[in-house]
Structure 1
Amino acid sequence: MADVYTNPEKHVILHNNVKMPILGLGTSHDGGYSHEAVVYALKNCGYRHIDTAKRYGCEKYIAQAIKASGVSSEDVFLTTKCWPTDYGTNTTREAFNGSCQRLGVNTLDLYLLHWPDVPSGVRDKNSLLLDTWRTLELLLDEERVRSIGVSNFLEPHLEVILNECSVVPHVNQCEFHPYNNPKKLRSYCKERNIQFEGYSPLAKGMLLNEPQVLEMGKSYERTPAQVLIRWGIQKKIPTIPKSTKGQRVLENSQVFDFELRTEDMDTLNNMTREIQIMDPSTIQAKIDNPLPDGYKLKLVQIPVEP
């Protein structure tokens, strides 16, 4: 079994006792997808957690990368997501089956509702969300998926699920970095045994030139990206940085052999600048005026050192 599943520092345990690697490799259509970088991450850097979504259009490429890496698919924690236009009892199941087929697996490790928004023509949005969640619960009961959760859900959205669910979401994946640190939401999730997970740990590079982060990097002889990823991991928050460059993928994985001092953790915890990279107000238009999955996908081939 891979080190990430035996070393307590390298995974978290969800409330149904599933082990989730704390460091993952994010993938999306935005910024491109690199086959070589994913293979390199699995084969040479020890990544065993890959995050994707049907919407990104790269699930089939991830299946190819896992096969090319020589790493057993059983050792790779796979997360994918259901886009709101697929919400509903039958359509969600169809979307789930399609994702499994493209990823080349019979079961998934984590399946998420991508956004709390639904098509604007739906009369009862809460009812649609609940029907969709019940489908995820059935998939869990059928052992088609090991854990289920949501993404980009705030407290009111979670309340809709929690008031009616049989299974409390195992995970809530949200944007998370020192410029966007939702402390109340994280506390809310913690109180309800929902594992908070963070994406965009570098704020799409905006934090890499933050003077305090640069100073910490010099102090620890680490890159600013390593400092930021370490901050999330040290808070026991699964973190999924993205890169199409092999050297960056390697650097992002080298965060388990140093520890941030308490005062530096506090500095990052309490940054006053507030920036949210992903604007939720843009999502409704993308749901109501759908473009094909992966419409922005660029296949980036980046050579990496063996």
Structure 2
Amino acid sequence: MPWFGLGVFKVEEGPELVNAVKTAIQHGYRSIDTAAIYQNEEGVGEGIREGLKEAGISREDLFVTSKVWNSDLGYESAIAAFETSLEKLGLDYLDLYLIHWPVEGKYKDAWRALETLYKEGKIKAIGVSNFQIHHLEDLMKNAEIKPMVNQVECHPRLTQKELKDYCKENGIQLEAWSPLMQGEILDNQDLQEIATKHNKTVAQVILRWDLQNQIVTIPKSTKEHRIKENADIFDFTLTDDEMERIDGLNQNHRVGPDPDNFDF
């Protein structure tokens, strides 16, 4: 699984989406993250096909993720939803398939479906999204296969340290959605000072902080210069003091729904 990829949350079907995916692949992105509820899997698939062709790489070089939505969290319905996503994307398999939200009383049946699809080789890895520690513990009581990935909201105002430590102890890879806090934190003075020191942008500093915390990150952008800029984070390293300074910005503040109080 690549440490860095492109997220396409709220990017509508159309040329902008196709070009964003294609551009990302051309600029070295090897991971694309979508979901059924985003209603853009067809455009993502088109962007993937065009991007692979123009970059001269094969499907196996790309890591594609999608997610099953809350209304499809039964055993049969999750399998059907997966097949629909696969068809819309125009792919033969997915690299990662996630349960999008921990809907109480439903995610265990959906997890059995994901285990079946994994055993059949239709998915290379299976995981969850927005699961808290207690959700993970509950799921793993009955699971044959433990989640390989947990994709959650994570940024300097919501560092998720306890969850990160738990996932690491249990061999679950943490992945950050909304790593840039939807832009809300880009004017933070501490981050701006660190960025100036490294001659980088605040966004680049945050994404580098993710990587040094061993968190997979998937920033969203549709603009070519931002897509290119976001990926330019492999030529500098944050010091331990800078990492601690960023950690200290935590306020347990969410920009998205609380998984324990989400109106499903």
The reply to whether residue 27 of structure 1 matches residue 8 of structure 2 is yes
The reply to whether residue 133 of structure 1 matches residue 111 of structure 2 is yes
Query: Any idea what SS the aligned residue of 2:174 has?
Result: strand
Classify 1:57/1:159 alpha carbon distance in 2 versus 1 (closer, same or farther; 3 Å). Answer: same
Once residues 267 and 177 of structure 1 are traced to their aligned partners in structure 2, the CA distance between those partners, rounded to angstroms, is 13
Once residues 28 and 100 of structure 2 are traced to their aligned partners in structure 1, the CA distance between those partners, rounded to angstroms, is 27
How far apart are residue 73 of structure 1 and its match? 2.1
The equivalences for 1:1-306 within 5 A come to 20-29=1-10, 34-43=17-26, 45-69=27-51, 70=53, 71-117=57-103, 125=105, 128-280=106-258, 284-285=262-263, 287=264
How far apart are residue 200 of structure 1 and its match? 0.9
Any stretches of 5+ residues in structure 1 without a counterpart?
A: 1-19, 119-124, 288-306
Classify 1:213/1:227 alpha carbon distance in 2 versus 1 (closer, same or farther; 3 Å). Answer: same
Once residues 260 and 90 of structure 2 are traced to their aligned partners in structure 1, the CA distance between those partners, rounded to angstroms, is 32
Q: Which has the higher contact order (CA 8 A, sep 6+)?
A: 1
Any stretches of 5+ residues in structure 2 without a counterpart?
A: none
Query: Any idea what SS the aligned residue of 1:117 has?
Result: coil
Query: Any idea what SS the aligned residue of 1:251 has?
Result: helix
Q: TM-score, normalised by structure 1?
A: 0.81
Once residues 206 and 51 of structure 1 are traced to their aligned partners in structure 2, the CA distance between those partners, rounded to angstroms, is 22
Once residues 283 and 102 of structure 1 are traced to their aligned partners in structure 2, the CA distance between those partners, rounded to angstroms, is 31
Q: Deviations over 1:225-247 (max 9, x none)?
A: 00000000111110000011110
Query: Any idea what SS the aligned residue of 2:152 has?
Result: strand
Say whether the 8 Å CA contact 1:66–1:72 is kept in structure 2: no
Letter of the 2:39 partner, please give it.
G
Letter of the 1:269 partner, please give it.
D
Letter of the 1:227 partner, please give it.
V
How far apart are residue 46 of structure 1 and its match? 0.1
Say whether the 8 Å CA contact 1:26–1:242 is kept in structure 2: yes
Query: Any idea what SS the aligned residue of 1:34 has?
Result: helix
Say whether the 8 Å CA contact 1:22–1:233 is kept in structure 2: yes
Once residues 98 and 259 of structure 2 are traced to their aligned partners in structure 1, the CA distance between those partners, rounded to angstroms, is 20
How far apart are residue 159 of structure 1 and its match? 1.3
- More displaced 10-residue stretch of structure 1: 28-37 or 180-189: 28-37
Name the % identity: 39
Letter of the 2:60 partner, please give it.
E
Letter of the 2:170 partner, please give it.
R
RMSD: 1.6
Query: Any idea what SS the aligned residue of 1:21 has?
Result: coil
How far apart are residue 29 of structure 1 and its match? 1.8
Classify 1:272/1:198 alpha carbon distance in 2 versus 1 (closer, same or farther; 3 Å). Answer: closer
Once residues 38 and 260 of structure 1 are traced to their aligned partners in structure 2, the CA distance between those partners, rounded to angstroms, is 29
Say whether the 8 Å CA contact 1:232–1:239 is kept in structure 2: yes
Aligned residues: 258
The equivalent residue for 1:294 is: none
How far apart are residue 205 of structure 1 and its match? 0.6
Q: TM-score, normalised by structure 2?
A: 0.93
Letter of the 1:84 partner, please give it.
N
